Amino acid sequence: MNVLLLGLVIFFGGHSVSIVNDPWRGRMVAKWANGHGRACTRWCPSSDSFSSSGATGSPATTRWLCTRRLVLRPVAMVLLVPVFPLLLATYLPGRIQAAAQHPMLVATKLWAVAHLLANGMLADVLLFGAFLVWAVLDRISMKHRMQRPVPSVPPSRVNDLIAVAGGLALYAAFVLWLHGWLIGIPLRVS
């Protein structure tokens, strides 16, 4: 449980600086832009590995907070369908990006809600609940701060098609194989 909490603090501590102090973040990025800060992002262990390694195994994290909701797993799978197309739309300007405004945050919210519906252990609630709260707070804070440009390809009519086709292919690969391989938990719909 401690490793999970440490991973959440590290991940959200770094990803929430813009929410609480965007000018300071801008100064730090400018200060470290000459390459000194890049070594840490390349060579430090990912906080994702901290949080996922702490999410299984210990009795505290495997405690069920609510009964297993097997009937909600198919609902969760349907909620996850737009997640990968939205993630791709973040970098492929088109109608999807314009409609969602912040497609990555929408994808994060859908991903977190789907996992909260399908899972009921303490570690799940902490991990996915934290991502949901962070995405909501980040979206609210974006209304009060200047937006930084996101690196992307040039706008095109085919970007939406690429986002949808590529996203659905990624979704299928994740359901069939990648979730078990990357996360270590094979998916079961029923």
Q: CB within 8 A of 174, min separation 6: which ones?
A: 84
Asked whether the predicted pLDDT for residue 29 surpasses 80, the reply is no
For the whole model, what pTM was predicted? 0.70
Task: Dihedral sign for Cα 119, 120, 122, 127, please.
Answer: positive
pLDDT tens digits for 56-75?
Answer: 455 555 555 665 567 788 99
Distance from C-alpha of 9 to C-alpha of 15, rounded to nearest angstrom = 10
Asked whether the predicted pLDDT for residue 172 surpasses 70, the reply is yes
**Pick the residue with more confidence: 112 or 23?**
112
pLDDT tens digits for 121-166?
Answer: 888 889 999 999 999 998 988 887 777 777 788 888 899 999 999 9
DSSP sequence for 15-53: HTHHHHHHHHHHHHHHHHTTTTTHHHHHHSPPHHHHHHH
